[in-house]
Amino acid sequence: MSRLIRALIMGPPGSGKGTMSSRIVKEFKLNHLSSGDLLRSQIQRQTAVGVLAKQYIDKGSLVPDDVMVKLITHELNGLPPNWLLDGFPRTVSQADSLSKNQTLDAVLNLDVPFDVIVQRLEWRWIHPGSDRVYNLDWNPPKVPFKDDVTGEDLIQRDDDKPETVRARLEAYEQLTKPVLEFYRSKGILTEFHGTETNQIWPHVNDFLSDLLQHPSKQSIE
Ligand code: G5P
Ligand code: MG
């Protein structure tokens, strides 16, 4: 499996992008870059980008395009060309900028209904040091509220409050859904429908295995 893949994973907040990404990364040895994890690390370190981003994230709004494009471009330039990008692009303008700088092999969209998402986010706890994701109901930590690997405390994300989740879903509907159309029109979008990560994962696995064996199937400059 020597071919390099540059792929995006998309889907509404809470659709399981992070959970699916860890499975993909493990199976296909891709570098995972999550825009949300990156922003939370900037917030934790109180950088200028982090201070600015927090004002938007806490309201459930998107961080301005110019800030995001600069941040992600810088990170991607430092990665080998074998990555899975999660949470970027989230606007058509971001998608446009990305297409000027990078070639993409695949865009995967997790089409999970909104009604199953809200409950999931209420029950999500994360390990801030590693961004490992748990769910009290679905994949609980071995010891309650402690990270399985380090034993450190888990926390809840500030933007997982129900009113902020509603704002995030609205931002998704208005600004991010058009990005799906952007990639659909380029013939590079593959959709995965379902309500459970375990149910969607075998299809994602088959799709990426197939892409690795038939590299010329898709890809846009
Ligand atoms: P993020 O961090 O990118 P979102 O809103 O896109 O945030 P989020 O919340 O990280 O996405 P996810 O990664 O799609 O969700 O989902 P996940 O964490 O894997 O799973 C959610 C929960 O469900 C977990 O508890 C998991 O265990 C559980 N789960 C998974 N599968 C199942 C299942 O099958 N069943 C059950 N029952 N549970 C399951 O972005 C955060 C903010 O940063 C800014 C924005 O303000 C954004 O709101 N931002 C940007 N702003 C502008 N442009 C960009 N490109 C930006 N990127 C980030
Ligand atoms: Mg995530």
Q: What is the pLDDT of residue 218?
A: 56
The reply to whether 67 falls in a domain is yes
Residue 220 pLDDT level (bands cut at 50, 70, 90): low
Ligand 1 atom nearest to 199, measured from its CA: 34
Residue 2 pLDDT level (bands cut at 50, 70, 90): low
Catalytic residue from among 6, 40, 132, 168: 168
**Residue 141 Cβ contacting ligand 1 at under 6 Å:** no
pLDDT tens for each residue of 36-73: 999 999 999 999 999 999 999 999 999 999 999 999 99
In CATH, what number is assigned to the domain containing residue 33? 3.40.50.300
* CA–CA dist 26, 142 (Å, integer): 21
**Residue 127 Cβ contacting ligand 1 at under 6 Å:** no
Say what the pTM is: 0.94
Give the domain extent around 186: 6-113+175-217
Catalytic residue at 157? Answer: yes
Residue 214 pLDDT level (bands cut at 50, 70, 90): confident
Domain count along the chain: 1
The reply to whether 134 falls in a domain is no
Does residue 219 register a pLDDT over 60?
A: no
Q: What is the pLDDT of residue 216?
A: 56
The reply to whether 155 falls in a domain is no
Residues shown for the chain: 221
CA of residue 87 to ligand 1 center, whole Å: 8
The reply to whether 160 falls in a domain is no
The reply to whether 142 falls in a domain is no
Q: What is the pLDDT of residue 39?
A: 97
Catalytic residue from among 6, 40, 54, 90: 90
The reply to whether 54 falls in a domain is yes
Q: What is the pLDDT of residue 119?
A: 87
**Residue 6 Cβ contacting ligand 1 at under 6 Å:** no
pLDDT tens for each residue of 170-196: 999 999 999 999 999 999 999 999 999
pLDDT tens for each residue of 70-116: 999 999 999 999 999 999 999 999 999 999 989 999 999 999 999 89
Q: What is the mean pLDDT of the chain?
A: 94
Burial of 53 by CB count in 10 Å (0-12 exposed, 13-18 middle, 19+ buried)? buried
23, 83, 179 from 95: Cα distances, Å: 25, 16, 7
Tokens of residue 125, six digits: 């706890």
Nearest ligand to the C-alpha atom of residue 19: 1
Does residue 1 register a pLDDT over 50?
A: no
User: What is the residue type of 119?
Assistant: Q
Which residue, judged by its Cα, is nearest atom 2 of ligand 1?
36
Residue range 14-19: average pLDDT? 97
